[in-house]
Amino acid sequence: MFFELNGHPREVRVTDRAVDAALVRHPKADPDDPDHVAAPMPGKISSVAVKRGRQSKAAIASFL
């Protein structure tokens, strides 16, 4: 809602609680599939440089 108070324009958000909002979710991974890995960016894994069963250290990529 927009209005003017003492000569200054004001804006106030008013939530209509009578409206039922439908929340649309876009899951990043299937929680029932252990082979799915959620990622914040879309893409595909092209290769994995570690063999199954071997331990590895976490790597932090720097894009500066």
pLDDT recorded at residue 59? 62
Q: What is the CA radius of gyration of the chain?
A: 24
pLDDT recorded at residue 63? 52
- Residues 27, 36 contacting (CB under 8 angstroms): no
Q: Which tokens in the block code for residue 5?
A: 């108070």
- Residues 14, 23 contacting (CB under 8 angstroms): no
Q: pLDDT tens, position by position, for the chain (64 residues)?
A: 899 999 999 999 988 888 777 777 777 788 898 888 787 777 777 888 788 888 777 666 555 4
pTM over 0.75: no
